[in-house]
Amino acid sequence: MEVRESAGLRVPTLILSLLVLVAVALVYVWSHLHNTQLKYQIAEEMSVRDNLTEENRRLKVEIATLKSPQRIESIARDKLKLQYPEREQVVLIK
């Protein structure tokens, strides 16, 4: 009778052990997949950041070009037909 009781206890223990092992394996696989997904998201966000940094650099260059005194003077002379005042047109205010 003792042999049957110990054999009867081994089956549930084995099943419980297998269930725990499967649960641990599932948690490991899930964490690995989640980690991989996070790495892809990080890579994507870094790509977005690099694109925005490049666009920011281009916009700064464009701003510097648009603010250029030579460009402003050229527009004033050519498009607006402005010119420097003559000496007698200048009035000094004290």
Is the CB of residue 82 less than 8 Å from the CB of residue 76?
yes
pLDDT given at position 51: 98
Mean pLDDT for back-to-back runs of 10 residues, the chain (94 residues): 60 93 98 98 98 98 96 95 92 90
Q: 64, 70 in Cβ contact below 8 A?
A: no
CB 88 within 8 A of CB 94: no
Q: Which two tokens stand for residue 11?
A: 């089956």
